[in-house]
Structure 1
Amino acid sequence: MSEIFDLRLFSEVFITLFVIMDPPGVVPIFLALTSTLTRAQRNRSARQAVLVALGVIVAFAVFGQQLLSYMHISLPALQASGGLLLLLVAMELLTGKMEEPQPSGAKGVNAAIVPLGTPLLAGPGAIVATMVFVQGSDGDASSWVSITLALLAVHVCLFLAMRFANVVHRVLGDSGTILISRIAGLLLAAIAVQLVADAVIAFVASA
């Protein structure tokens, strides 16, 4: 089983993206953006947002490596920049900025696509983290299977959180949702610092 599935890599990708994309923290934002929709429309918005986010992240995971090669960007540079971006996302989680609903934009724009699908779910943090995992993987079948399953698992969690947003919010309450967002921000900050530290070590080793 280990030849086609790497549990350690799966866990790393899943936990990192789960913390970045923060399914419980999406609940109050999703409820605010879809407050005027019916139950059926809200469920459809949840599906659309998850599909858009998954499509954007997969596109960067597949073509990101070629883009980096074309622009002559090294993995340590990507790790360092990714760590800084993740640190910004962590600060937003810790300060509560991500809990503030963003305007849905011009009239006629589907909120499930913008801003929910991207950049809220498929934001720079999730995109860079996925590209770092792909770049750092061995490129064998087990790595791709593990990363793909982790991506799907996180997006399933996102869909379930939005699909049952009313129930989740009722169970956690405002205080519970905020508490989970703060803990997620703390964990994400630690992940960001580790990425930057690994990048510095790699730069020194290659010097």
Structure 2
Amino acid sequence: MTELYTYGLLVFTSFFTLINPLGTMPIFMSMTSTLDKQRRKQTAKKATLVAFFTILAFAFSGQILFDFFGISVNSFRIVGGVIFFAMGWDMLQARLGNIKHADNEEKIDAYIEDISITPLAIPMICGPGAITNAIILMEDAGTISQKTVLITVIAFVLLLTYLILVGASKITDKLGSTGNKVMMRLMGLIVMVIAVEFFFSGLKPIVLGMIHP
């Protein structure tokens, strides 16, 4: 049971920091500023649901992709570590992702309907870091209990993301510009630590295999 708690804590910490709903809040508010409260809530709900099913799809199909392309889990860990580190570095510098969102003249009805999928769900919520994390953690989940914990915690993190986005205006006002930057830097530091762990956990078996073939 203790092992499941430890695994669940790892899943929660990694996904919450990589999805970074607090860092997504300012972008979400700017992109939905022309929507009323109900439409904003519907947009947040659709975005988190799409992100949830996308993460699950990659988590369960990850091994199939590995076998099809001849990719090893350790190689993916190394690449994932590099991606995490780059994301963590940007977060540490309090820079938001390079997400294109429409200018005033481009805010047409079709765009407003689709923003919940792109770019809110993908790649803001379900970015390369979250996808890589899902594949690797599902591969590491050796039991049904661990897989259940993984899916449950992912759903919980995305529920928190939905609640944070819905209450984004109040939370952003309370944290302020400085508070948001401090929170993003703290999350960036955690992501970079996770990146180093992933990188060397993938590099060590490869190096050992080269030394002792």
* TM-score by shorter chain over 0.5: yes
Deviating beyond 6 angstroms after TM superposition, the runs of 4 or more aligned structure 1 residues are: none
1:82-129 CA distance string (max 9 Å, x none): 001111111221233316663149742321111111011111010001
Contact residue 99 and residue 119 of structure 2 kept, 8 A: no
User: How far has the Cα of 1:184 moved from its partner?
Assistant: 0.6
**Other-structure match for 2:101:** 103
User: How far has the Cα of 1:206 moved from its partner?
Assistant: 2.9
Contact residue 76 and residue 202 of structure 1 kept, 8 A: yes
Q: 2:125 aligns with which of 84, 99, 121?
A: 121
**Other-structure match for 1:186:** 189
Q: What SS does structure 2 have at the residue aligned with 1:6?
A: helix
CA distance 1:44–1:198, shift in 2 (3 Å): same
**Other-structure match for 1:53:** 51
Contact residue 104 and residue 114 of structure 1 kept, 8 A: no
Distance in 1 of aligned mates of 2:44 and 2:102: 15
TM-score normalised by the chain length of structure 2: 0.90
Q: How many residues align?
A: 204
Distance in 2 of aligned mates of 1:64 and 1:158: 24
Gaps of 5+ in 2: none
Q: What SS does structure 2 have at the residue aligned with 1:102?
A: coil
- The reply to whether residue 158 of structure 1 matches residue 146 of structure 2 is no
Q: 1:81 aligns with which of 79, 82, 88?
A: 79
Distance in 2 of aligned mates of 1:125 and 1:100: 15
Which sits farther off after the overlay, 193-202 or 119-128? 193-202
What root-mean-square deviation, in Å, do the aligned CA atoms of Structure 1 and Structure 2 show?
A: 1.8
Gaps of 5+ in 1: none
Distance in 2 of aligned mates of 1:22 and 1:120: 9
- The reply to whether residue 112 of structure 1 matches residue 116 of structure 2 is yes
Q: What SS does structure 1 have at the residue aligned with 2:96?
A: helix
Contact residue 13 and residue 151 of structure 1 kept, 8 A: yes
TM-score normalised by the chain length of structure 1: 0.92
**Other-structure match for 2:200:** 197
1:14-51 CA distance string (max 9 Å, x none): 10010011111111111011011000000001101101
- % of aligned pairs identical? 26
**Other-structure match for 1:169:** 172
Contact residue 89 and residue 192 of structure 2 kept, 8 A: yes
Q: What SS does structure 2 have at the residue aligned with 1:146?
A: helix
